[in-house]
Structure 1
Amino acid sequence: MHPVLKAGFALDPRIEADTQPVIWLGLCELRVMNDRRWPWLVLVPQRLGIEEVHDLTPLDQAMLTFESNMVAQALKRTTGCTKINTGALGNIVRQLHVHVIARNEGDPAWPGPVWGYGVRESYAPADLHQFCARLKAAL
């Protein structure tokens, strides 16, 4: 992370607690959800006070779209999944963040949403490191 680029930005503590940083993309910090049941990434635009995509400037909206697509393609290549779910809900954590989740028919929550399903299974540190390295290589 490049603290000087954050310009006063503060990550919501709930996102920080549930995820680990992967890489700085430009507009967004890419983070991985610490739940090994699904390859689950979170893009967090580094902008103060933004809750909705339409709150971003048009240039930032374009950048978010570009980065979301780039991450989705890299996640699909990395995991070989059959479906990518992308969403920005923000009902609980208001700070704008975009979920990008690799899904496969027959995964534990298929075809339903992953939110609130079962009990989180944290990555072993070595597995998390390996997943992040493969993802970075795909980006």
Structure 2
Amino acid sequence: MCFEIHSKLLEDCLQLGQLQLCKVLLMNDSRFPWIILVPRIADLCDFHELPHENRQDLFNEIETVSRTLERLFDVDKFNVAALGNQVSQLHIHIIARSKSDCAWPGPVWSTGKTIPYSKEMQDKLVEQLRQSIEDLTY
């Protein structure tokens, strides 16, 4: 079977590009700097299904994205999670949290309404992230 990104992720996110293992998405919610990594391997649902030879790559990519967000935003804490209750495809949320964000200290899920990026901010942030995430191709 071919790798495809789940339709819900495509609906909710902007595509930034790809790293060695993962597609890199930006959650279209301007309240939080929020990247999603999707390993480009078909039919993965959980971490334990990821082939051993790809596990270090995934953690390296989480680190790369986290360090990039840390350089670009005021970050007090990272939330890194792979929940999968609504989208079973393995994907990893990397959310840069700030004590001043609207959900702090609670979870970002089910907190208020999503506020999509304006077209201007979307273009600016996508370009900034594409230039800043090491080894990203698009």
TM-score by length of 1: 0.91
Identity in percent:
35
**Alignment pair present for 1:59 and 2:53:** yes
Match of 1:22, SS state, is strand
1:33 aligned partner? 27
1:99-138 correspondence to structure 2 within 5 Å: 99-138=93-132
Name the Cα RMSD after superposition: 1.1
1:98 aligned partner? 92
Match of 2:44 among 23, 26, 50: 50
5+ residue gaps, structure 1: 1-6
Match of 1:109, SS state, is coil
How far, CA to CA, are the matches of 1:87 and 1:62 in structure 2? 16
How far, CA to CA, are the matches of 2:70 and 2:16 in structure 1? 16
1:98 CA drift (Å): 0.3
Higher relative contact order (CA 8 A, sep 6+): 2
Runs of 4+ with deviation above 6 angstroms: none
How far, CA to CA, are the matches of 1:26 and 1:125 in structure 2? 28
5+ residue gaps, structure 2: 134-138
How far, CA to CA, are the matches of 1:137 and 1:67 in structure 2? 15
1:122 CA drift (Å): 0.5
Match of 1:9 among 3, 12, 18: 3
Aligned residues: 133
Superposed CA offset, 1:50-92 (max 9, x none): 0011101111111111101100110111113221111111111
TM-score by length of 2: 0.92
